Amino acid sequence: MPQSRAHQLRHLRTDIERAGYYPSLVADVLEIALAGEEVVSHLVHPETMFDRAEVRRHVTALVLTPTRLVVAHVDDVPSELPDAPPSAAATTEAVAIGQIRSVALTHGVVDPAVYEQGAGGTELTLALNWGSVQRIDLEPAGCADPDCDADHGLTGTSVPDDLVVRVSAEAEGPGAMRAAISFATALSAATAARPA
Q: So where are the chain's domains?
A: 5-99+172-192, 104-160
Per-residue pLDDT of the chain (196 residues; tens, 9 = 90+): 355 677 888 999 999 999 999 999 999 999 999 999 999 999 999 987 776 766 778 899 999 999 999 999 999 887 788 788 888 999 999 999 999 988 999 999 998 999 888 877 899 999 998 875 555 656 777 788 888 888 877 776 555 457 889 999 998 999 999 999 999 999 999 998 655 4
Q: For position 119, what pLDDT does the model report? A: 79
Cα first-last separation, the chain: 27
Rounded to two decimals, the pTM is 0.80
Is residue 69 within 8 Å of residue 43, measured between CB atoms? no
Q: What is the pLDDT of residues 138-157, one digit of tens each?
A: 677 778 888 888 887 777 65
- Residue 181: its H or E element: helix 174-192
pLDDT on residue 1: 39
Q: How far is CA 29 from the centre of its chain?
A: 17
Strands (E), 33-101: 41-51, 54-64, 68-77, 87-96
